[in-house]
Amino acid sequence: GVSGGPPREPPRLPALPLIGSLLSLRSPLPPHRLFQDLQRKYGPTFSLMLGPHRVLVVNHHRHAREVLLKKGRAFAGRPRTVTTDVLTRDGKDIAFGDYSATWRFHRKIVHGALSMFGEGSASIEKIICAEASALCGVLSQSSCLDLSPELTRAVTNVVCWLCFSCSYSRGDPEFEAMLRYSQGIVDTVAKDGLVDIFPWLQVFPNADLRRLRQCVSVRDRLLQDKYLQHQVQDYSDHVQRDLLDALLRAKRSAENHNTAECVDLSEDHLLMTVGDIFGAGVETTTTVLKWAVTYLVHHPQVQRRIQDELDRRIGGDRAPRLSDRGSLPYLEATIREVLRIRPVAPLFIPHVALTDTSIGDFTVRKGTRVVINLWSLHHDEEEWTDPERFDPGRFLNSDGSGVTVPSPSYLPFGAGVRVCLGEALAKMELFLFLSWILQRFHLSVPPGHPLPSLEGKFGVVLQPARYQVNATPRAGWDHASPPHGQ
Ligand code: HEM
Ligand code: PLO
């Protein structure tokens, strides 16, 4: 609405036909597309009832920015749901934990611990480059393969080094188990299915919930093992090697100082946080890499332009480094365009109004769930010409010498109180993995194979389908193992 008018209720979808199963049953479209379409009838901000819950859907950047930034505190809550409670022991993590003093303290500690690996940190760059090198080694040995497990292992190992100071080799059974449980969780958590809307449905058999519980128990055993190992080792050598050490240290120092800041961080809190970083660290970055590869096979001319840039700015005698980021604007623009056209989390995680408040002229009651539809922001025709066209050029400045953000309708990592904690890490990984791969290989679908689908499977993250890729060594890189190491 036009701002300045008297407060009023947002347009509301009829409740009856939507009870319970709007998201999964009533439309062939995934929810982010359905919500985008519903704008035509109800306007960019509308409300609906999911069972007993009032949900406000925000499809325009002005209202999205009001929720995330201007009124960030008022909208910093998270809903409790059956599936996320199973995953996080009733919200004892950062991402699905509700806003509270404990949560704020907890997030601050994790933020601090993560920034020891931040921008400019030599150790994180070394870790990513070692994994990129190993990944390229695998690519040079097999002409045609599904990149998904290889990308996942490379990204998992980066997070593994950060969290636990360990990594997995190809075929490691623990890694295979991790792949399985993590996919199981992605497939079943936070889907706003019937169980999350009507918690009492839990008493009935529910296959998804059973699968989730089983996957979570496998994950918890793995986390518990790492936790115990660290607790023992940390006491004996007093060296801070990784995120888990940093968290253990923060927990102990919080226990020893009885300040006002002192909030009890239980063992559950630490485990669930590491679970968050591990899960978010793996599933998001891997998904973006897969989308990048998917768009690059669809657009060989974009691939060639990135490779020209790599050849001109880096050449063939050394591998890319983080310090090259400023001199590879077209690659940087491509990464931004991938994050726009296929947002990892098209509906973010729902926010909750902690007080009676408003969005624009609309009144919002305390407890309302707010869904930011990032898909709509990133596909707004007023802001992006031909939004489904893949065009990295949108993010280049006029002479192509640097990158820009051409519209306020772009929020791949969210903003404000709940902004992504892993943005810096994710950007380093995307840059290094893609530059290493594209310096060495040309990516295409094998002859006779169709181009991969751009559709995506909706879940807590929007995943591309699996398909085979040919990684053909570029001229000068056609050796069994590349001579130009790091
Ligand atoms: C939250 C995007 C990578 C950790 C989020 C949110 C988005 C997002 C949209 C939700 C914001 C909201 O609900 O308002 C992304 C994208 C990534 C990425 C696009 C990759 C390209 C990572 C990585 C980590 C991470 C690598 C871990 C190291 C988190 C955490 C939260 C979060 C802990 C929850 C924050 C909170 O609720 O306070 N991310 N993320 N993310 N992300 Fe990321
Ligand atoms: C991914 C599957 C893991 O096994 C558990 C997990 C933990 C944190 C979640 C992540 C999953 C999916 C992506 C999420 C992340 C927290 C923040 C991130 C939701 C479920 C985003 C993109 O918001």
Question: What sign does the CA torsion over 170, 174, 180, 182 have?
Answer: negative
pLDDT at 210 over 50: yes
Tokens 């791949």 belong to 412
Complex ipTM over 0.90: yes
What are the residue ranges of helices labelled H in 299-444? Answer: 300-313, 329-341, 374-378, 423-440
Cβ of 95 less than 6 Å from ligand 2? yes
Percent of the chain with pLDDT strictly greater than 70: 88
CA 284 to chain centroid: 3
What is the Å distance from ligand 1's center to 261 Cα? Answer: 25
Render pLDDT for 72-81 as a digit per residue (tens, 0 to 9).
999 999 999 8
Cβ of 461 less than 6 Å from ligand 2? yes
Mean pLDDT of 361-379: 96
| Poorest-pLDDT segment among 115-119, 220-224, 286-290, 396-400 | 115-119
pLDDT at 292 over 90: yes
User: Which two structure tokens, joined as six digits, stand for 347?
Assistant: 């509906």
> The pTM is what?
0.94
Q: Which ligand is nearest to the CA of 188?
A: 2
Render pLDDT for 301-311 as a digit per residue (tens, 0 to 9).
999 999 999 99
Cβ of 345 less than 6 Å from ligand 1? yes
Question: What sign does the CA torsion over 403, 408, 409, 415 have?
Answer: positive
DSSP one-letter string for 108-121:
HHHHHHHHTT-TT-
Mean pLDDT of 51-55: 83
Average per-residue pLDDT for the chain: 88
User: Which two structure tokens, joined as six digits, stand for 278?
Assistant: 């591990």
Strands 441-444 and 468-473: antiparallel
Cβ of 348 less than 6 Å from ligand 1? yes
Q: Given this model, what pLDDT does residue 18 score?
A: 45
Whether the Cβ atoms of residue 83 and residue 195 lie closer than 8 Å to each other: yes
pLDDT at 195 over 70: no
Reported as a pLDDT band with limits 50, 70 and 90, residue 429 is very high
Q: Given this model, what pLDDT does residue 123 score?
A: 85
Reported as a pLDDT band with limits 50, 70 and 90, residue 21 is very low
DSSP one-letter string for 69-106:
IITTTTT-B----HHHHHHHTTT-SSSSSPSSHHHHHH
Q: Given this model, what pLDDT does residue 236 score?
A: 63
User: Which two structure tokens, joined as six digits, stand for 304?
Assistant: 């060639």
Whether the Cβ atoms of residue 56 and residue 364 lie closer than 8 Å to each other: yes
Render pLDDT for 24-46 as a digit per residue (tens, 0 to 9).
445 678 889 988 998 999 999 99
Tokens 């006779």 belong to 448
Q: Given this model, what pLDDT does residue 1 score?
A: 44
Q: Given this model, what pLDDT does residue 109 score?
A: 87
Give the integer Cα–Cα distance in Å for 444 and 474: 12
pLDDT at 485 over 70: no
Element (H, E) at 233: helix 207-237
Tokens 């892993």 belong to 422
Q: Given this model, what pLDDT does residue 15 score?
A: 65
Element (H, E) at 277: helix 267-298
Terminal CA-CA length for the chain: 55
